[in-house]
Structure 1
Amino acid sequence: MTNYIALIHKDADSEFGVSFPDLPGCVSVGTTLEEARLNAEEAVALHAEGLIEDGETLPEPSTLDEVMADPANRDGAVIIVPLKTAQPRTVRVNITLPETTLRDIDAYAESHGFTRSGLLARAAKRMIDAA
């Protein structure tokens, strides 16, 4: 199993933010440390799925020494996040959406480090789990 190093940060008036030095754009948040950790696992899985879907290769994880050699990373708490590879087979689907909705989805996904597919899958999963 591949493990990525994640950094947890928290400002006084914010939730716990999680970033992955090896996966630019892959971010997550949580109101508690435990929620941040769990959301980080979901974020790295969705990010990897999006990279694979886009025909890109996953970067090799850096070592802890490599990550901490960057002074910008020293303010975060380090956690190890497993990339769970037993993902279900990805299936391409064709959907119809209003053009403005698609633009909004793409803008949100880009600004939050998701692919379009990753964001839609995550939103759908959350709605299903909440039902």
Structure 2
Amino acid sequence: MRYAIVIEKAANNYSAYVPDLPGCVATGATIQEVNQQIKEVIAFHLESLREEDLSIPEPTTLCEYVEAS
């Protein structure tokens, strides 16, 4: 499965979250670090759901960019 992530710049670092997996968040000093962290968090989150025999949410979030005028 392929989940959309949102990466935001904070004052001193970056944060990321997964809209389709509530509670799935990570932080890092760089974009590369937060990207790696969120991948690990997603894997851990999905494994936890499987262990608890809970359903895995389907990815439904779409990402688009629009030009502002």
Distance 1:41 1:5, change over 3 A: same
Cα distance in 1, alignment partners of residues 30 and 61 from structure 2: 26
Query: SS where residue 14 of structure 1 aligns?
Result: coil
Q: How far, CA to CA, are the matches of 1:49 and 1:18 in structure 2?
A: 19
Map 1:20-59 to 2 at 5 A: 20-59=18-57
Q: Report % sequence identity.
A: 38
Counterpart-to-counterpart distance in 1, 2:25 and 2:56: 16
SS of 1:48 mapped into structure 2: helix
User: Runs of 5+ in structure 2 lacking a partner?
Assistant: 65-69
Higher helix share: 1
Normalising by the residue count of structure 1, what TM-score does the alignment of the two structures yield? 0.46
The structural deviation recorded for 1:63 is 4.1
Are positions 1:4 and 2:3 aligned together?
yes
Kindly indicate whether the alpha-carbon contact (under 8 Å) linking 2:20 and 2:61 is maintained by their aligned counterparts in 1. no
Distance 1:43 1:20 in 2: 10
Q: Does 1:19 align with 2:17?
A: yes
Partner of 1:76: none
Q: What do you get for the CA RMSD once the two structures are aligned?
A: 1.4
Contact 2:27 2:37 in 1 (8 A): yes
The number of residue pairs the alignment matches comes to 64
Larger Rg computed on CA atoms: 1
Q: Which runs of 5+ in 1 are unaligned?
A: 69-131
Give TM-score scaled by structure 2 length. 0.83
